Structure 1
Amino acid sequence: MQAGYIEANDWLNLIFRVGLSVIIGGLIGFERQWTGTNRSAGVRTHMVISLGATLFILLPLQIPQDYSSVNALSRTIQGIATGVGFIGAGLILQQSHRGKVKGLTSAAAIWATAALDTAIGLGYWQLAVVGTVAMLLVLSGVKQAKRPIAVRLGRASSSSKKRPADTPSPTPTDRRAHPLFFAQDD
């Protein structure tokens, strides 16, 4: 069997691709939600986008391959990239109401997650696994590496600034203090 076309009775392959895409979306969504205090795109959002991207790719693969199915697959990939880009733009707009542009990394993470899951849908799951590891290293590792550099340069980020004395400490039920509280993403 080729990497792309899936025979109609190959349910194990379909289940594997869909399951892996949801797991990868969940890992990236968990990282986004775990490292931030107000992430609009968390675990569930990433998982749903992952599932959608994979399903949109798997649908044209059910058509026996000829010139028209390759053309349909190309249009599907273009549609996924554009559609998920609009979702990311909504994240940026939603979070930029105070004059500061926020949400760029979350928007980029959603867009890249859709690309990873497009690869899974096409059968290139090894590429998606390597891409997921690279993405998690970029999202977590670069942020961790930036902190000591910013402190040395005297440009500590807002996350490393101390809380004013009159601000109470967050309680354990405060969603910002509890990274596993998943109700904050839509």
Structure 2
Amino acid sequence: MDWQQLLVIEPFTWPAIGAALLCGTLVGFERQMRGKPVGIRTSSLITLGTYLFIVGASSVMTEATDPSRIIGQVITGIGFLGAGVMLARDGVVVGVTSAATIWALASIGVAIGLGHLETAIKLSFVVVGVLFGVDLMEDYFQSMTRGVHKKYKGWKTSFRRDKQG
């Protein structure tokens, strides 16, 4: 038996799979450390799955097919996944940032599928920078906690009271 043949995964590549898992882990680690719904596993699977769809579609390209349509379908499918993490209670919508993170993760998976591995890794750091940086700014500037975040904190405490009582 040829053991090297077992490692062949054409049309996919191990470096791209590694990049997809790394990108998902980078973003997912930030989310998981803050107790958000989209953690390391989910983030890694989103980037990996998107990569697999993009490359898989490219491998069946003929004159009659258009692999760019797969990107559009991925965006639509990811929209449904993102909608699943958003909740509404008492007129307050939560989970929008997690949904937007899912959307950004899928776009990183597309970049990997198109062969832009280094760019995807850099973009993962940008996503983490936005998620973490805005949180720091909210902690530093009181004026940024007005509006929806103030209502969210109130909803959180009322939700805890409802669970206890």
TM-score for both structures, normalised by structure 1 = 0.68
Residue 19 of structure 1 corresponds to which residue in structure 2?
18
Counterparts of 1:109 and 1:90, CA distance in 2: 13
8 A Cα contact 1:81 1:114, kept in partner: yes
Letter in 2 for 1:126: E
CA deviations 1:67-111 (Å, max 9, x no partner) are 445x1x11110011110011101111xx32343110000000011
Higher relative contact order, chain-length normalized (CA < 8 Å, sep 6+): 1
Q: 2:107 aligns with which of 107, 111, 115?
A: 115
Answering whether residue 71 of structure 2 is matched by residue 74 of structure 1, we say no
Q: What CA distance in whole angstroms lies between the structure 1 residues aligned with 2:153 and 2:69?
A: 44
Match 1:146 to one of 120, 124, 138? 138
Alignment identity in percent? 34
Q: Which runs of 5+ in 1 are unaligned?
A: 1-8, 168-186
Count matched residues. Answer: 147
SS at match of 1:96: strand
- RMSD of aligned alpha carbons: 2.9
2:59 & 2:11 partners in 1: Cα distance?
15
| Deviation readout 1:117-170 (Å, 9 max, x if unpaired) | 1110110112212211111110101110121112x6784956999xx9xx9xxx
TM-aligned CA distance change 1:129 to 1:101, over 3 Å: same
CA distance in 2 between counterparts of 1:57 and 1:154 reads 39
Counterpart in 2 of 1:57?
Answer: 54
* TM-score of the aligned structures, taking structure 2 as reference length: 0.76
CA distance in 2, matches of 1:86, 1:108: 12
Deviations 1:15-48 (A, max 9, x none): 1111210111121111112123xx2221111111
Provide the rounded CA distance (Å) in 2 between the counterparts of 1:102 and 1:143.
Answer: 15
Which is richer in helix? 2
Partners of 2:109 and 2:145 lie apart in 1 by 39
